Structure 1
């Protein structure tokens, strides 16, 4: 099932991201306050520098040269302190929130899984969990606070310059508006689609790289390296092309901002010059207005520059929000009944993964009784694996019902269902850990003796003991250091160790040789007295131990 991306506006994305900041609002307010004070201190350093030169020339007499020099020293020191404090607060907020967001994303994935992971591009999810979340640091540390600082500082400067002369205040207001609002908004709208395309292309490239790494042996064997490399090169070029477009827009925006700032200074000079000539402004006021105008664009120019990174950041934020706001295909039942004993009954079960599908299962009926091995036989693609996923409630049946001891699977507490069922999939995932710990995934409190007993039943004990460190041998990433059959037998050992009431096995011996398959099947036959066992396979030979066989 594919998740449809939400087409959010930039404001909606920002609102969603800002909503996560509530626990740290006090600290954010402090960062904004220090940022405003720091930027105004920097601006007035220049203004007081101008006062000093005017005082030395005998034009300004409001403050003595010594007082002005003392003020400059104090402002310079406080500028450094305030800047450091602001950045410290912003980065503390950012990293705290990134940790919180990662926790929320993993919590969301736990709710969405396994259906979400069943059909999603793993590389794209990795991109969201890593680089997309990391990029949000730019938003929290270098976006929210600068926006508030730019607004507050601009309002202060408009009032200050307006007190010198209303026309000077009007010029400042229009200039700040163009640099801090018009240019960023226009650039953001223009680059929004490119930003989203860039992050999506990055995720697709991630998926391609992972595929090529994990499938390198097959690519070399079947001489598909050039084709796959060409495909990856195409995706890289698409990513770079989008990046070049974003960079071009960034350069145009930067030039436009610089031109507006220069033009604002020229206009302010002309306006103040005319008022000074007309006697409506003192000379020192005109100089102050021009210096104040030219030295106060830092916060608003930063907003203009933000719009470039903001396209990437908001695209990443939207992808993260997609995960956080996605509705699970199946919601865990936390207050339902415990798994009852008794027959498992499938009545007219139908299911399709997409609305457009013809249906993987159609009106399937079967009864699975305790104490027996039930075989489910059928060709590939007939819905055998899907049936087990419905029984595990990874998905819910579209029509019909599955009941355990008369209780509908949807009404059973999910934790109880998963605790009492052991599910062996076609692909056994192994962690980068010891063999013992990999088996103990099924029961972390198991003793070494219990682990060894489960391994013997799965016909993997002798292989493990042949390794230099036995059960303490560490597996490489994804367990690539052992064969597919050995992986499967570790998966079967987990099922035996789980001590569940029911074992669901999906093609459990497809990669196992006939000798070891015979040992595993005999172990299953001994285990059936206390359990219900479902054995899915497309091979008739595997069905030899089944008490009952359902043909699909």
Structure 2
């Protein structure tokens, strides 16, 4: 950054001094040398300035962007680290589109600060000092005139400009994130929108939010244009005032005229770095809003803090007189609370009345997210106890909303209970090493998330290179995963067979290398569940938690999944959470909520 500032300073000095040396050469040719400089030195100085300007401009831009992009990579890495630290509990209240905007657009906007703010400020301050020193050798009054002019353009104008755009940046970033949320949500639910004939209504909602965002951008552009015009007029006025001063001083001392004209040329050519400062507020209003959002994410406290070091062998789990309620304090997205969400005037034909009922306005969308899903302070679980066996299948049955998924989150330590305790093999769960706990446990949720890759890619997520897969076969399996593709295929095919998915995979055109599409859209719900089940089996955990694994499946696919769970649970523990009585037939013991 220092090198970039130095290069920029030299470049701007060269650009400013180019016409100054031209004027000096002209006066030297007329027999009135300034700074005792002849024609040849003046021409040589012009050539050097021209070459330096181009070279230093390139060096400045290269170094600024090199530093900026390195810092952006660092910030993006820190943002992902924050997401990992907060997941999954603290991310439940954030829209996915907003999180995507946070780690992409918001991070990228920081480039404006690092590449186009720090060095321009240093360059403007440094060049102003150098110009003032040079002008002192020509005429002290001209040095004072330059300092006064630069203070007006570089300090007063940006200060007033900043007051006009202070709230626009946060508003634009919040509305852009809301639009991202809606767009992502609609893209994922496009099939339902089409089937229910709501396409026009959803487009109207997107159009309304887009117009709101566009209106704020227009406001920012208008303010930017207004102050750019004011700055330009002020430069013209200050230059004119300087010319009047030159005339007055030349009239008092005619022999001093050449030096005064050179000084005037220097002042008239010196406003470039300072003018860049007057445009900073428009560029920085979104950058600072993005920085606040990003740093708020990094500073957010996770739901649980992992400090445990114990690594007990699995011998059952217990929830002992647990009471738990989700936090209900509203948590708005990071940003100034004062940012407004002003209603827009109606426009002819822009949005039908039916669209207004489909989506809350932007202010509502960002202000009502909460830490949890509970609508009140009533505990989801109150003085609740549950024993998870060391082996066998425990069935947990109950209607939706009774706390089955919450129980899973406590067992996985997504949250800690407000009272009571959760233990793993008699060890309090907070004292257990997080990596060990994730190795011992595996979870199959209601939805199986498949990444946009092949079936092989999605299965290998459960078999990371270099990680033990099973105490009895892990060493051989891990070595095979790293060195022998055939042995790895054997592991994957065995897991698929356990999940009753091998015949399905073999029937596909490319077998295990068949692409599944984004979110696994090329597979049916039942096929995705089977692939997800194979992935869980491949993990070979001591305790597998199944959260409504068959709730979205037909009777045939449910029977296949339950048979696979039954066949693979011998010698290990499984907890099957479901509202279906049919799912409980494979359980060794059933607990009813």
For the criterion TM > 0.5, the same-fold answer is yes
State yes or no: 1:340 paired with 2:313.
yes
Shift of 1:157: 1.6
Q: Which runs of 5+ in 2 are unaligned?
A: 330-375, 465-477, 482-487
Alignment of 1:431-442 (within 5 A): 431-442=451-462
Alpha carbons 1:488, 1:511 under 8 Å: kept: no
State yes or no: 1:34 paired with 2:75.
no
Match of 1:177 in 2: 151
Alignment of 1:215-230 (within 5 A): 215-230=189-204
CA distance in 1, matches of 2:324, 2:220: 44
Of residues 270, 276, 279 in structure 2, which corresponds to 1:305? 279
- Deviation by residue 1:5-43 (Cα, 9 ceiling, x = unmatched): xxxxxxxxxxxxxxxxxxxxxxx1111111111111111
State yes or no: 1:191 paired with 2:232.
no
3-state SS of paired residue (1:282): helix
Q: Tell which deviates more after alignment, 78-87 or 402-411.
A: 78-87
Of residues 401, 412, 435 in structure 2, which corresponds to 1:415? 435
Alpha carbons 2:498, 2:568 under 8 Å: kept: no
Of residues 299, 304, 309 in structure 2, which corresponds to 1:330? 304
State yes or no: 1:294 paired with 2:268.
yes
State yes or no: 1:212 paired with 2:186.
yes
Shift of 1:280: 9.1
- Deviation by residue 1:112-152 (Cα, 9 ceiling, x = unmatched): 21224333111111112122222222222211111111111
State yes or no: 1:371 paired with 2:381.
no
3-state SS of paired residue (2:461): helix
- Deviation by residue 1:199-242 (Cα, 9 ceiling, x = unmatched): 12111111111111111110011111122111111110011000
Match of 2:402 in 1: 382
CA distance in 2, matches of 1:528, 1:68: 89
3-state SS of paired residue (1:152): helix
Alpha carbons 1:340, 1:407 under 8 Å: kept: no
Match of 1:507 in 2: 548
Q: CA RMSD in A?
A: 1.8
CA distance in 2, matches of 1:172, 1:42: 17
Q: Measured at CA, do residues 437 and 79 of structure 1 come closer, stay the same or move farther in structure 2, by a change above 3 Å?
A: closer
Alignment of 1:466-545 (within 5 A): 466-545=507-586
Match of 2:23 in 1: 50
3-state SS of paired residue (1:376): strand
Shift of 1:292: 1.2
Alpha carbons 1:268, 1:289 under 8 Å: kept: no
Q: Measured at CA, do residues 340 and 461 of structure 1 come closer, stay the same or move farther in structure 2, by a change above 3 Å?
A: same
CA distance in 1, matches of 2:41, 2:463: 76
Alpha carbons 1:165, 1:281 under 8 Å: kept: no
- Deviation by residue 1:435-474 (Cα, 9 ceiling, x = unmatched): 1221222124463222222222222222112111111211
- Deviation by residue 1:258-278 (Cα, 9 ceiling, x = unmatched): 011111111212223222222
Match of 2:33 in 1: 60
CA distance in 1, matches of 2:456, 2:522: 15
3-state SS of paired residue (2:147): helix
Match of 2:360 in 1: none
Match of 2:504 in 1: 463
CA distance in 2, matches of 1:99, 1:473: 33
Of residues 143, 152, 168 in structure 1, which corresponds to 2:126? 152
- Deviation by residue 1:298-327 (Cα, 9 ceiling, x = unmatched): 101011122211112222222222222222
CA distance in 2, matches of 1:491, 1:352: 30
State yes or no: 1:135 paired with 2:109.
yes
Match of 1:406 in 2: 426
Match of 2:334 in 1: none
Shift of 1:417: 0.3
Of residues 234, 237, 258 in structure 2, which corresponds to 1:284? 258
Q: Tell which deviates more after alignment, 249-258 or 439-448.
A: 439-448
CA distance in 2, matches of 1:362, 1:105: 36
3-state SS of paired residue (2:279): helix
Q: Tell which deviates more after alignment, 345-354 or 479-488.
A: 345-354
Match of 1:273 in 2: 247
CA distance in 2, matches of 1:520, 1:449: 21
Higher helix content, 1 or 2: 1
CA distance in 1, matches of 2:452, 2:561: 25
Shift of 1:165: 3.0
Q: Tell which deviates more after alignment, 91-100 or 415-424.
A: 91-100
Q: Measured at CA, do residues 181 and 467 of structure 1 come closer, stay the same or move farther in structure 2, by a change above 3 Å?
A: same
Match of 2:211 in 1: 237
Alpha carbons 1:199, 1:316 under 8 Å: kept: yes
Of residues 441, 448, 451 in structure 2, which corresponds to 1:428? 448
Q: Tell which deviates more after alignment, 524-533 or 459-468.
A: 524-533
CA distance in 2, matches of 1:201, 1:147: 30
Alpha carbons 1:457, 1:520 under 8 Å: kept: no
Of residues 220, 224, 229 in structure 2, which corresponds to 1:246? 220
Q: How many residues align?
A: 524
Alpha carbons 1:123, 1:207 under 8 Å: kept: yes
Q: Measured at CA, do residues 475 and 485 of structure 1 come closer, stay the same or move farther in structure 2, by a change above 3 Å?
A: same
CA distance in 2, matches of 1:267, 1:237: 44
Post-superposition, which runs of at least 4 consecutive aligned residues in structure 1 deviate over 6 A? none
Shift of 1:429: 0.7
- Deviation by residue 1:239-295 (Cα, 9 ceiling, x = unmatched): 100000000010011011101111111121222322222239811222122111110
Shift of 1:547: 2.1
CA distance in 1, matches of 2:56, 2:517: 50
Q: Measured at CA, do residues 350 and 186 of structure 1 come closer, stay the same or move farther in structure 2, by a change above 3 Å?
A: farther
Alpha carbons 2:317, 2:423 under 8 Å: kept: yes
CA distance in 2, matches of 1:468, 1:64: 83
CA distance in 2, matches of 1:321, 1:485: 41
Shift of 1:158: 2.4
Q: Measured at CA, do residues 512 and 450 of structure 1 come closer, stay the same or move farther in structure 2, by a change above 3 Å?
A: farther
Match of 2:369 in 1: none
Q: Measured at CA, do residues 509 and 281 of structure 1 come closer, stay the same or move farther in structure 2, by a change above 3 Å?
A: farther
3-state SS of paired residue (1:529): coil
